[in-house]
Structure 1
Amino acid sequence: MNRHIDAHADLHSEQGARRGEHPGRAPNPIVKVHDLAWLEFAKPDLDRAEMFAHAFGFTTASRTRDELQLRGTDAGTPCVIIKKGPRSRFLGAAFLAADDADVLHLAEATGRRVDRLPESLGGIVVELADPNGSSVRVVSGVRRLPALPAQTPVTLNVGRTAERTNATQRPPREPVSVQRLGHVVLQSTTYLETLNWYLQHLGMIVSDFQYYPGQRQRGPVMSFVRCDRGDTPADHHTVALTLGPSNRYMHSAYQVCDLDTLAAGGEYLRERGYRRSWGIGRHIQGSQIFDYWRDPDGFLVEHFSDGDMFDAALEPGWAPMSASGLAQWGPPATSDFLGTAPGRESLRELRATISSLRGDNEFDLQRLRGLLKVASS
């Protein structure tokens, strides 16, 4: 593709890369995945997980004694697969290939075998591991669930344009209906190696880079990565990768209808005792309206609406990272969202930081200073 567009020359993002900086894409990737198919988790209590899932806005697609499949209203695969296990943990992500030929080609190029997926999913899969050891499955031919009835956006009167007359606005305080899985955010001690792996193996491309203030010369520490669908627009990011002292899941995001359903669904969650982590606001990178929640196992999950869609022509933006730069509007990022609130998670991250600084990875003392500066900004 010969045309290149820079839509980042604005208040929030510097105008593109400097000479010699990361191009944000691989010159000859093995395949180009089409989308994120589903995420997999292990949890000890499937009943508790299903109760929260329904309050959050999922529908149960399938339930056995040992596995729970959750879906949105859009046609397609389940969004989340939860397997019964002794402890709560993130198991990995599955990506949808364009066709069976890409799965076969990826398997041949990586020396992996192609397997059949379980009957409940159908199709074929090649299973890889990214540089962090996280499972990455690429699938095709999977069974598509039919669409379910979806929530309808509210009709808005904007300015003096009266689209709604003789009728009130009363969005019901009920669970929002999740439409689909949008993205997953992962932290890595080998951020650059991991980024390059996703670009090369899955053909993904970077929408936005971020770097620690004063450390741009050392390269980026976070990237928002989308699928390359050519002229067809894709989500601003399907995967986001960030440098940190441990390899871990950070959050996943699920699209909902609009701001009103997001807010009313949030009130429904709050009234049932679930914990909001941060929100409501609008992001800068990706532009999504967001609302973050903790599930009963401590996993961070996001409702979002109105995200950016980019085609393959758009070049990456570059911007300094800061806590205040996470949103255009909304409350300040909370210590819970940033992972600095006192508790088990922050204690684990502190231990990981000490271990990481002693190890052979990309998270060194200078990077730690940059991260602390971001957290305090």
Structure 2
Amino acid sequence: MEDPHRGLHSEHGALAGEHPGRAANPVIKVHDVAWLEFEKPDLVRAEAFARAFGFTPTLSTEHELHLRGTDPGAPCVLIRRGARSRFLGPAFRAAARSDVLRLAESAGRPVAKLPEPVGGVVADLADPNGLRVRVVSDTHELPALPPQEPHTFNFGHETRRTNATQRPPRTPARVRRLGHVVLQTTKYRQTLDWYLGHLGLIVSDFLFHPGRRDRGPVMSFVRCDRGSSPADHHTLALTLGPANRYVHSAYQVADLDALAAGGEYLREHGYHHSWGIGRHVQGSQLFDYWRDPDGFMVEHYSDGDLFDNTLEPGWAPMTASGLAQWGPPATADFLGVKPGKEALRELRAVFSALREDNEFDAQRFLGLLKVARS
């Protein structure tokens, strides 16, 4: 039987003339993703899910909700009350205040102070899709909280645990930190080059439609350039599609037991499971996907890859089966083709995108259908 994962990933970088995966002279090099910002109409409902998912609120008022993990630093999700649910954009943490000043000057944007609950300074930019992208520094540093410790495992003949049992509690997984955000764009190449050129991000992996590598990539997993210090395989992922939108965000937990037991807790409390548990190909993360009450997809993950700046991008075909090394098949909900309001919105976006001047043309649409069926 043919191995469905054969040839899914190449460690050999670009062919002649292909995208190199990094900008030659970026304006700055951000250090990490800082937080994500949302608007939601029901903050009570949002907080209930957040606690079940494993966040700790640091600010909870009638108008605003801040959520953190156990790692030290700023809150990793900021939610304001609004008339409708929407994603406002990501914030990235600069390595120094001088980088915020340099970026603001380069873009012709002002530097402003952030509100006191967060502190620090910010430069607000807009990516090619009009999404607000914030770059911040000198934010208040919240102290670490007691983390959920990984379990001690006996592997093969390596005995590390004796006279002790494994009894992981069925409680919320404790989120440690924000890992990455995935965005869909109708202007994939332009958007990718913008993030590489302005924020100094570098590509870990490119995906292309099966049999169409000659047309270039349609998705990229992008990491921070910290030189010889390892960074997450991706802090940002960009994918070509018929609408500019948030796809999902991912939050690190301690280990597989935390991810699985935390998922059982969410299931018992009536929350919507999207896909998992499995292990990804690009990034290698153990994953489990959920939807919050507003329909936003969020991921628990553990054991992801870390790369320094010496690795060249991998190249692989984009297929539904290639999203995981093991685990259940990708669901229609995860792929965005489950019948319902979201699929209808995406279908309407397809017809709109095909009438506009962007990278999502008829051939890309057919390639996307092939991916969903693979």
What is aligned with 2:298?
A: 301
- TM-score, with structure 1 as normaliser: 0.97
Question: What is the CA-CA distance between 1:12 and the residue it aligns to?
Answer: 3.3
* Shift >6 Å, 4+ stretches: none
Question: What is the CA-CA distance between 1:168 and the residue it aligns to?
Answer: 1.1
Partner of residue 115 from structure 1, selected from 103, 112, 116: 112
What is aligned with 2:125?
A: 128
What is aligned with 1:322?
A: 319
Instruction: Deviation per CA, 1:173-200: give whole Å up to 9, x if none.
Output: 0000000000000000000000000000
Q: Does 1:236 align with 2:218?
A: no
What is aligned with 2:3?
A: none
Q: Root-mean-square deviation (CA), in Å?
A: 0.7
Instruction: Deviation per CA, 1:306-341: give whole Å up to 9, x if none.
Output: 000000011000000000000000000000000000
Q: Is the 8 A contact 2:70 2:177 kept in 1?
A: yes
Question: What is the CA-CA distance between 1:62 and the residue it aligns to?
Answer: 1.0
> Take 1:313 and 1:160, find their aligned partners in 2: how far apart are those partners?
35
Partner of residue 88 from structure 1, selected from 61, 85, 88: 85
Q: Is the 8 A contact 2:8 2:317 kept in 1?
A: no
Secondary structure of 1:282's partner?
Answer: strand
| Equivalent residue runs for 1:351-366 within 5 Å | 351-366=348-363
What is aligned with 1:175?
A: 172
Secondary structure of 2:367's partner?
Answer: helix
> Take 1:209 and 1:203, find their aligned partners in 2: how far apart are those partners?
17
> Take 1:152 and 1:13, find their aligned partners in 2: how far apart are those partners?
32
Question: What is the CA-CA distance between 1:160 and the residue it aligns to?
Answer: 1.6
What is aligned with 1:185?
A: 182
> Take 1:77 and 1:350, find their aligned partners in 2: how far apart are those partners?
37
Instruction: Deviation per CA, 1:137-195: give whole Å up to 9, x if none.
Output: 00001001100001111110111222111111110000000000000000000000000
Secondary structure of 2:112's partner?
Answer: strand
What is aligned with 2:67?
A: 70
Amino acid of the residue matched to residue 347 of structure 2? L
Secondary structure of 1:60's partner?
Answer: strand
> Take 1:250 and 1:327, find their aligned partners in 2: how far apart are those partners?
17
What is aligned with 1:31?
A: 28
What is aligned with 1:12?
A: 8
Secondary structure of 2:135's partner?
Answer: strand
Secondary structure of 2:44's partner?
Answer: helix
Secondary structure of 2:262's partner?
Answer: helix
What is aligned with 1:265?
A: 262
Q: Is the 8 A contact 2:231 2:307 kept in 1?
A: yes
Amino acid of the residue matched to residue 63 of structure 1? S
> Take 1:283 and 1:70, find their aligned partners in 2: how far apart are those partners?
26
Amino acid of the residue matched to residue 99 of structure 2? D
- TM-score, with structure 2 as normaliser: 0.98
What is aligned with 2:275?
A: 278
> Take 2:111 and 2:163, find their aligned partners in 1: how far apart are those partners?
59
What is aligned with 1:212?
A: 209
> Take 2:226 and 2:7, find their aligned partners in 1: how far apart are those partners?
28
> Take 2:253 and 2:89, find their aligned partners in 1: how far apart are those partners?
23
Q: Does 1:368 align with 2:350?
A: no
Secondary structure of 1:108's partner?
Answer: helix
Question: What is the CA-CA distance between 1:11 and the residue it aligns to?
Answer: 4.8
What is aligned with 1:5?
A: none
Amino acid of the residue matched to residue 353 of structure 2? S
> Take 1:161 and 1:316, find their aligned partners in 2: how far apart are those partners?
35
> Take 1:196 and 1:142, find their aligned partners in 2: how far apart are those partners?
27
Identity of aligned residues (%): 71
What is aligned with 1:138?
A: 135
Amino acid of the residue matched to residue 9 of structure 2? S
Question: What is the CA-CA distance between 1:19 and the residue it aligns to?
Answer: 0.3
Instruction: Deviation per CA, 1:176-225: give whole Å up to 9, x if none.
Output: 00000000000000000000000000000000000001211111000000
> Take 1:61 and 1:177, find their aligned partners in 2: how far apart are those partners?
15
Aligned residues: 368
> Take 2:7 and 2:186, find their aligned partners in 1: how far apart are those partners?
30
Amino acid of the residue matched to residue 350 of structure 1? L
Question: What is the CA-CA distance between 1:48 and the residue it aligns to?
Answer: 0.2
Instruction: Deviation per CA, 1:217-250: give whole Å up to 9, x if none.
Output: 1110000000000000000000000000000000
Secondary structure of 2:65's partner?
Answer: strand
> Take 1:165 and 1:197, find their aligned partners in 2: how far apart are those partners?
53
What is aligned with 2:200?
A: 203
What is aligned with 1:51?
A: 48
Q: Is the 8 A contact 2:7 2:316 kept in 1?
A: no
Q: Is the 8 A contact 2:220 2:239 kept in 1?
A: yes
Unmatched 5+ stretches in structure 2: 1-5
> Take 1:141 and 1:168, find their aligned partners in 2: how far apart are those partners?
44
